[in-house]
Structure 1
Amino acid sequence: MTGSLLFDAIVFLLGAIICVSVAKRLGLSSVLGYLIAGVLIGPYVLGFIGEEGEDILHFAEFGVVVMLFLIGLEIEPKNFWNMRKSIAGMGGLQVAGTMLLSYLFFILIDFDWKVALVISMAVALSSTAIAMQTIDEKGLMETTFGNSAFSILLFQDIIVIFMLGAIPLLSNTEVEAATDSHESTGNLLDGLPMGYQTLAIILSVVLIIGAGQYLIVPMLRRVAKTGVRELLFASALLIVFSISFLMEYVGLSPALGAFLGGVVLSSSEYKHELESNLEPFKNLLLGLFFIAVGASINFVVIAKIPLTIG
């Protein structure tokens, strides 16, 4: 019975309604309510959701992608260009400062320098989904604090590309050989020189910008003429998923690609239609994402090595 799709849906919805309602009544963020719901129904507490929680998490990650796309729709290309200094300045300062302090700390407690560097990279990053959902929920997106936080998160989403590229360079020959023997990750640029990878990434960005102006907007005009509302919704999903797939295929973050697609389409006449169609879908998937994250927390591992994880 617990393997039934309908039963899982009931458990997810009931857990979300109860825990988020309690969290809001206590003045807490809905994100915390979703996470607690996931923890409670997950395999390590009540056990209503088992191994399938990981599959749900992969699907629910589209909520983060859609969220970044909608944020991009709110930022016109000119405004995005004006944000470049705050993105590189505050974002770079936060990542560099956090990495330096973390690296020195782990070196002082006798970690290998390569391990310390990788851990410091992870410590310097934040969850865009959790941070942006909380900022949006509290109505801080239009404030100086919200813009600063968004700039830092956006820089993190960009710099993580280079971090992931640097990590294999820190591994030894044996590890690289073992990695090469496994199946490919599906990244189109795997094994190519860094110069070719950079060129492919730039071309992908140019392709998104060009497609936004000369392919996506004309397509939306044709769809709008049919007068069928669900077709416009399907078109919005097609745009988000296609851009995200392209970005993931060349090794970039799907969410970052979706954000760029949103910026490109922010000046189109279908901006508000896209927002109204995708907003409920985003909220549903984000809630599912946070529940799946909570359900995937392995308390057995945490109990065994709490200091290492902490």
Structure 2
Amino acid sequence: MNDSFLKDAFVYLLAAGVLVPLFHRARIGAVVGFIAVGALVGPHGLGRLADTLPLIRFITISSPERAAPFGELGIVFLLFLLGLEFSTARLWALRREVFGVGCLQVVLCGVPLAFGAILVGYPPSVALVLGSVLALSSTAVVSQLLIDQHRALAPLGQLVIAVLLFQDLMVVPILLAAELLTGNAPDVLTLAGLALAKAAGAVALILVAGRFVLAPLVAAAASTRSRDLIMAITLVVVVGSAAVTHRAGLSSALGAFLAGMLLSETAYRHQIEVDLEPFKGLLIGVFFVTVGMSVDFAVVLPRLGWVVAGVVCILVVKVAFTFAAGRLMRVAAPTAAEAAVLLAQTGEFAFVVLALLAASGALAPADAGVLVAMVGLSLAATPLLARAGRRLGRRLDARLHEGLAVPPPTRPERHVIIGGFGRVGRTVAEALDEEGVAYVALDNDPRRVAEARGAGLPVYFGDAGRAEMLERLGAERASAFVVTLDAPNAAERMAAAVRQHWPTAAIIARAKDAEHAHRLSALGVAGVIPEAQEASLQLAARLLTQLGLPDEVVTARTETARARIEAALARARSQGGQRI
């Protein structure tokens, strides 16, 4: 291990531990943070000054090629963990999305992008490869965003992952076409047949080995109760599966996903997830850093206008035609729209194809540099695209459910207004129903509202933090307000609106934790129920009962602890700023 390697590792860890958290605090996001750090400390950023300012060498990464394999390993771990969330039955249920939406997306996006490349001046053969590779999206970035948002198993997540899986299958024909452009393919039919046979054999090998070898192997390791051995066998499974598909010309991430999917139904999936999670986070960060280091500012800046225009054109084309692909396969408009925006960027596989075309002379070095910059910029824009897509999906969802937002047909008196109709709000509503107390609920999730309305419940679509919405529900005649919203900011907005417009109203609020309870109490909410503390009190009471204490002693202990918490909240309300 030489000094250069240790220095590069130190710079990366410094960026991951110091610079990226600063980006996160600025609400920029870890993905963009890693890409920006890579552009800054890479050979095309501050690294250009290393010859004139020797000290710069100690804060730059001198060898991006050496870090690239670690980044690819991060993608492999990411897709393996994603595969653990799926099963063979679930993947089979998604076959329509994989081969229907996925195929249409690649074709509908690839054709206009290839035509655009021809208009720019590329030969038709090169333009076809470029259009196909630009039609693909980033498995690494999109999957990470879905996992961070806990939406991998939601309808949107399943649709997006299905499209990404088909795109991974397209790696073989695209690489085959790129190989033909290099002039090294003597027999097209033989090469195509061999490539397809290797790909099919690799997938079959993983599926068979997963059922008869991988699962029993992990079970044997688990029987030893040695976490080290379980980790070692898991790494063998992950890397081995990725290597098999890589050698067959497929994406290594596809092999890792299949291996994870085959182990998803075993009893060891949760232990594997916990053990691999830290490795995945760090290694995927290396990948994003290498993406940032691929941007050559000397090539990009003189052509910055073309780069930005090209990225905008790619995004517009992919959003429009991916949405069309979803709608043609009868995907709901809100889901299709959000998926189209989320998949609008180009994928990391483009770096491989562009490097191959540049090395063969099919692409001029300057053109390859501009295209690499466009790919990197579109990847960096993905978190912003994800936010825009989510807002667009919600707007379309709300428009489809406009009928849910109508005010109640009657003018209730002495009723309860519930903000949020999730599990807590529904439980409160059921208790009120049993006692014959009228209630009206507001929720900003159209699907949840539609489900409740279908059951005949008085639930309406709207923002419970807006006084005008509460007023339409008869807030001035309400006997109490119950705040059960999941998001702390939304809960505080509702409490503040009620306190400002109806200062004498009774407010009962659910708090996520002590800090949230403090903020609600400072707003004047008298009935704050800290969710975490209440759960801990019930847990302690159950434990004391199991230990043999009499019921009256357990009740007394619990009430004493609850009184202590309520006294702290009362002090917060009276003092307005003291921490609990």
**1:186-205 → structure 2 map (5 Å cutoff):** 193-205=191-203
Partner of 1:29: 29
| Cα separation, 2, equivalents of 1:151 and 1:19 | 34
Structure 1 residue 176 corresponds to structure 2 residue 183: yes
* Structure 1 CA distance for aligned equivalents of residues 281 and 296 of structure 2: 25
In 2, the alpha carbon distance for the partners of 1:4 and 1:194 equals: 42
Deviation of 1:276 (Å): 1.5
The TM-score with structure 1 as length reference comes to 0.87
Alignment check: 8 A CA contact 1:100 1:120 kept = yes
The Cα of 1:263 is off from its aligned counterpart by: 1.3
1:107 maps to 2:118: yes
| Contact 1:57/1:293 (8 A) holds in 2 | no
Given the alignment of the two structures, is residue 46 of structure 1 paired with residue 46 of structure 2, yes or no? yes
The residue aligned with 1:17 is 17
Which residue number in structure 2 is paired with residue 240 of structure 1?
Answer: 238
Kept after mapping to 2: 8 A contact 1:29/1:134:
no
Superposed CA offset, 1:165-198 (max 9, x none): 22334x3xxx425x88xxxxxxxxx995433433
CA-CA distance at 1:24 after TM superposition: 1.8
Moved more, 193-202 or 134-143: 193-202
Give the equivalent residue in structure 2 for 1:210.
208
CA RMSD of aligned residues (A): 2.3
Distance 2:189 2:246 in 1: 16
Identity of counterpart residues, as a percentage? 35
What is the CA distance between 1:37 and its match in structure 2?
A: 1.4
For 1:139, give the aligned amino acid: H
Deviation for aligned residue 1:254: 0.9
Cα distance in structure 1, aligned partners of 2:217 and 2:154: 35
Distance in 1, Cα, partners of 2:294 & 2:62? 9
Q: Match for 2:222: what amino acid?
A: A
Partner of 1:273: 271
CA distance in 1, matches of 2:153, 2:106: 23
Task: Select the structure that is richer in strand.
Answer: 2
Asked whether 1:89 is paired with 2:89, we answer: no
Equivalent AA in structure 1 for residue 240 of structure 2:
S
Single out whichever of 126-135 and 46-55 deviates more from structure 2: 46-55
Are 2:85 and 2:264, in contact at CA under 8 Å, matched by a contact in 1? yes
Q: Deviations over 1:234-272 (max 9, x none)?
A: 111111111111111222211111111111111122222
Match for residue 261 of structure 1? Answer: 259
User: AA paired with 1:292?
Assistant: T
TM-superposed deviation, 1:136: 1.8
**More off after superposition, 82-91 vs 288-297:** 288-297
Q: Which amino acid aligns with 1:162?
A: P
- Contact 2:23 2:29 (8 Å CA) reproduced: yes
The structure-2 alpha-carbon separation of the partners of 1:104 and 1:79, relative to structure 1 and needing over 3 Å to count, comes to same
Q: Do the aligned partners of 1:49 and 1:295 also contact (CA within 8 Å) in 2?
A: no
- The residue type equivalent to 2:261 in the other structure is V
Measured in 2, the distance between the counterparts of 1:18 and 1:209 equals: 42
Deviates more, 1:269-278 or 1:56-65: 269-278
Q: CA deviation at 1:21?
A: 1.6
Does 32-41 or 216-225 show the bigger shift? 216-225
Which is worse superposed, 220-229 or 139-148? 139-148
Distance 2:39 2:179 in 1: 33
The one-letter amino acid of 1:64's match is: I
Residue 120 of structure 1, CA deviation: 0.6
Q: Distance in 1 between matches of 2:25 and 2:203?
A: 44
Shift of 1:286: 0.5
Matched residues in 2 for 1:89 and 1:209: separation?
A: 22
Partner in structure 1 of residue 67 of structure 2: 56
2:136 match: secondary structure: coil
Aligned to 1:187: none
Give CA deviations for 1:140-188 in whole Å, capped at 9, x if unaligned.
Answer: 323322222222212111112221122334x3xxx425x88xxxxxxxx
CA distance in 2, matches of 1:43, 1:206: 42
Count residues with an aligned counterpart.
295
Whose RCO is larger (CA < 8 A, sep 6+)?
1
**Alpha-carbon shift at residue 99 of structure 1 (Å):** 0.9
| Structure-2 separation of matches of 1:196 and 1:8 | 40
Tell me if the contact between 2:171 and 2:249 (Cα under 8 Å) persists in the aligned partners: no
Unaligned runs of 5+ in 2: 48-58, 307-366, 375-580
Name the CA shift for 1:80/1:268 in 2 (closer, same or farther; >3 Å). Answer: same
Structure 1 stretch displaced more, 134-143 or 91-100 = 134-143
More helix by share: 1
Q: Which residue of 2 aligns with 1:302?
A: 300
Instruction: Give, in whole Å, the separation in 2 of the partners of 1:193 and 1:33.
Output: 41
Residues 6 and 106 of structure 1: is their aligned pair in 2 closer, same or farther, counting only changes over 3 Å? closer
CA distance change for structure 1 residues 68 and 45 in 2, over 3 Å: closer, same or farther? same
8 Å CA contact 1:34–1:294 kept in 2: the answer is yes
Residue 98 of structure 1 aligns to which amino acid in structure 2? C
Query: What is the aligned counterpart of 2:290 among 286, 289, 292?
Result: 292
Q: CA deviation at 1:3?
A: 4.2
- Could you tell me which amino acid in structure 2 is paired with residue 202 of structure 1? A
Deviation at 1:303, TM superposition (A): 3.3
**Counterpart contact for 1:71–1:259, Cα < 8 Å:** yes
Instruction: Please report how far the alpha carbon of residue 304 of structure 1 lies from its aligned counterpart in structure 2 after TM superposition.
Output: 5.1
How much has 1:5 moved relative to structure 2?
3.6
Q: Which amino acid aligns with 1:103?
A: A
CA distance in 2, matches of 1:106, 1:193: 26
Using the alignment, how far apart are the partners of 1:36 and 1:109 within structure 2? 29
Q: What amino acid does structure 2 have at the position aligned with 1:209?
A: L
Q: 1:50 deviation in Å?
A: 4.2
Deviations 1:116-142 (A, max 9, x none): 212111210122111111222233323
The letter for the 2-side match of 1:176 is G
Q: Secondary structure at the match of 1:61?
A: helix
Residues 198 and 122 (structure 1), Cα distance of their counterparts in 2 relative to 1, 3 Å cut? closer
- Report the alpha carbon displacement of residue 59 of structure 1 after superposing the two structures with TM: 2.3
CA 1:15–1:262 in 2, change beyond 3 Å: closer, same or farther?
A: same
Do structure 1's residue 116 and structure 2's residue 114 form an aligned pair? no
